[in-house]
Amino acid sequence: MADRPGGGPVMVVLGDSVAEGQNDPDPAGGWLGWAGRLARELDVSREEMLNVSDPGATIEDVVGTQLPAVRDLRPGLVVLGCGMNDALRGFERPAAAARLTELFGWARSRDAIALAIPVPRPPLLDLSPMSQFRKKRTVQRIHDFNEELARATREFGIPFPARETVDKVADPAMWSADGIHLNPRGHAYVAEVIANFARSLLRERAI
């Protein structure tokens, strides 16, 4: 990926603890995660990637706290990875839709390529003693959030990976023992899938 005007970050990542890379340590320090692995796949150096993700973040937090920190930048690639906390805690679809529209609208205004990662069904739902009602409601929220992601990305002409595209992430072997964070194998898999989308878009941009 080419440097952006002004020498700012080439790649910006927004999202929650999974986007942050928890449970996938970077030998150089901190977390690697799918974001760090994606950067490597795209030949983006550690210094050229800015990951402002926060543990526990919802889409409200992403737009309310993380977006202001990067709003004036002009990254070449913006990647969003959130929605799990929204599904676990509950969210209002109109509010989530408005936040996603604001986020992707910002990416377009900065002439950045944007990608979003679908929310998977975490093993936590099977490991936790939560009631069947709460489990069913959480699964429905995951579906609803992914529908809003699909709608928003379609509105802005952004390819959105269907859950079937990352179907292997449903394998418990891709997850840490807590059932809510991917393990290194899971992060590597997500990075590989997203990299294919990113490369295709970057090639189109270069033509």
Q: Give the pLDDT mean for 78-99.
A: 97
Of the listed ranges 8-17, 70-79, 161-170, 174-183, the least confidently predicted one is: 161-170
Per-residue confidence (pLDDT) for residue 3, from 0 to 100:
45
Which helix (H) or strand (E) segment is 13 a member of? Answer: strand 11-15
Bridge-partner residues for 68, per DSSP? none
Q: Give the pLDDT mean for 63-72.
A: 98
Within a 13 Å sphere around the CA of 150, how many CA atoms are in the beta-carbon half? 11
Per-residue confidence (pLDDT) for residue 59, from 0 to 100:
98
In angstroms, the CA 80 to CA 118 distance is 9
Bridge-partner residues for 15, per DSSP? 81
Task: Kindly provide the residue ranges of all beta strands, DSSP E only, lying in the chain, ordered along the sequence.
Answer: 11-15, 49-51, 77-81, 113-116
Which helix (H) or strand (E) segment is 131 a member of? Answer: none
In angstroms, the CA 30 to CA 140 distance is 33
Mean of per-residue pLDDT scores for the chain? 92
DSSP structure class, residue 181: S
Output the DSSP codes for 52-78: ---TT--HHHIIIIIHHHHTT---SEE
Q: What sign does the CA torsion over 45, 197, 86, 124 have?
A: negative
Whether this prediction's pTM lies above 0.75 is answered by yes
